[in-house]
Amino acid sequence: MKKSRRLSAAPALWLAAGVLTLTTGCPGPQEPTLGIAHQSMTELSGAESVTLGVSYAVGAPFTLRWTATAGTVLERDAPRSTIVYWTAPNCIPEGAPMPVVTATLTDEQGRSASTEFHFQETELFRCVVNESAPMSRPRVSHTATRLASGQVLVVGGVSEFVSTETPARASVPSVLESSAELYEPSTRTWAPTGALSQPRYDHQAHLLASGRVLVIGGLWSTEGASEPRAATTLELYEPSTGTWTVVSDLGEMARVKHSVLLTSGRVLLLGQEATGQPRHALYDPEANTWSPATAPASDIILDNVIRLASGKLLAIGTRTIPGRNGAPPTTVQGAWSYAPDTDTWTPTGAMKRTEAFFDTSLALLPSGEVLCLYRHEEKGNVLAELYQPGTNTWLHANTPSAAAPARFATGPLHSGQVLFSTYASNWKMHVFDPVQKIWLMLGHLPGPLPWGMTVTPLPSGQTLLVGGQLRSEQPLSTTPQRTVWLHAPRSP
């Protein structure tokens, strides 16, 4: 009998199809065997590349196949052992088993041997959010309000965009939603409820002491319209009947930009007249009556507002300062506080950065401080500051490590931490820890989260993330999302 002859192979042969066929000599009676020769890692924390190797013994032509229950395998052949590079998935969904990689050797007589590579579960390898049942309609620029029953009422929004040929606006809303639906946390299911009388987006919704929900303002447009128009009605939702009632209109206020529910039960509306001049008003939903409210100076444009623990309001925005000696005017950012008892606005201490900003987010911390996130107008990167009501001053705050120029989403968690997610986060979720005043990497995401999603804490301690838009090459994606995510706090 001839001596067995070993075939040489290129030292760096990369396989695309995942099947390698080698001939090691004349067929023989030897049963094929396969064993683990190398495993570079057993504990995973997300998307690592792991080197796996097997050793084999076989006396006939054979094929060697690699399979993985999750992740991807890139194969490399060596004369007597095979080395592959397996890339783990970013994370494993709730309840899913840990990935297993299997190597199977089969000779020409159909005899086979296999070996499996297993991995230990780690906390970071579990997805920090998991998909729940999707909504019936895709939505962005909608509202999500937790009712007294624990259900979440999702209202309105944009469900479709249409592309334009205008560089400044690559797409515009084409389908608006008047529909509303209810999320039931105990069953993780959705059910339709009554629709608004008028479709709208970029509106505000407030849960009143009566348990009803007040929807204010927003925008709407007719098909083919180049510019949206302001929705000038207020509608009230009755949970016991699932119906909406138009209760009032905005009167001389052309558009509402922000609204805040005060501790008195009244709602402060911050808007503007048709001329663009600021116009504020107070609405009493129980009496269905209006009263005037003071606005800051006419050169102040408020970008966001939040109610403090004291009942006062904190607003941030921009102010235009006239240029001197013929110089053009400059726009600077600033902050103001509002006292409902006296209907007065006063400036806070100076913010740490005075450059103009946009895409602002305000979050009330358990300490009473306010975390302010915003994007720099020119650079687009995300910056952070902390407002201290006790001293009426601002402090520098750490910036999230993932805060590259990109749209972001934030929201409160039951723990008092503040969620932060952006396209540049490398599919990771970060939170601001209000005690240490630092950003922490909370865990991995199964994919990029949308911007424009709503963030709603549930009674169970979980957090519901609804809708939004995924990143696109256009300023606005043409595909709002139906996707719904649940974030559950991990056990200590």
pLDDT tens for residues 432-454? Answer: 999 999 988 888 888 777 778 89
The CATH T-level fold of domain 13-125 is Immunoglobulin-like (2.60.40)
Q: Answer yes or no: are the C-beta atoms of 284 and 299 closer than 8 Å.
A: no
Tokens 């995942």 belong to which residue? 18
Q: Which of 192-196, 286-290, 377-381 has the lowest mean pLDDT?
A: 377-381
Q: Confidence band (pLDDT; 50, 70, 90) for 221?
A: confident
Q: Are 143 and 467 in contact (CB under 8 A)?
A: no
Supply φ then ψ for residue 72, to 5 degrees: -130, 145
Average pLDDT, the chain: 84
Instruction: Note the pTM of the prediction, 2 decimals.
Output: 0.84
Residue predicted with more confidence, 175 or 5: 175
pLDDT given at position 297: 80
* In the chain, where the domains are located: 13-125, 299-417+433-439
| Interacting residues of 177 by C-beta distance below 8 A, sequence separation 6+ | 137, 139, 142, 156, 157, 158, 159, 199, 201
- Tell me the range of 54-63, 135-144, 348-357, 442-451 where mean pLDDT is highest: 135-144
The 10s digit of each residue's pLDDT in 223-273 is 656 678 899 999 999 999 999 999 999 988 888 999 999 999 999 999 988
End-to-end CA distance of the chain: 66
What's residue 161's pLDDT? 82
Q: DSSP assignment of 82-107, as one string?
A: EEEEEEPPS-B-TTPPPP-EEEEEEE
The answer on pLDDT for 388 being more than 90 is: yes
Q: Would you state the pLDDT for residue 109? A: 84
SS3 content of the chain, % helix, strand, coil (to 5): 0, 50, 50
pLDDT band at 48 (very low <50, low <70, confident <90, very high): confident
Q: What pLDDT, on the 0 to 100 scale, is given for residue 18?
A: 37
Residue 135 confidence (pLDDT) above 80: yes
Q: Could you tell me which of 415, 378, 410 has the C-alpha nearest to residue 397?
A: 410
Quick: pLDDT tens for 389-432.
999 999 999 887 655 555 677 888 888 899 887 655 567 788 89
Q: Provide the pLDDT for residue 424.
A: 56
Give me the pLDDT at residue 448, please.
73
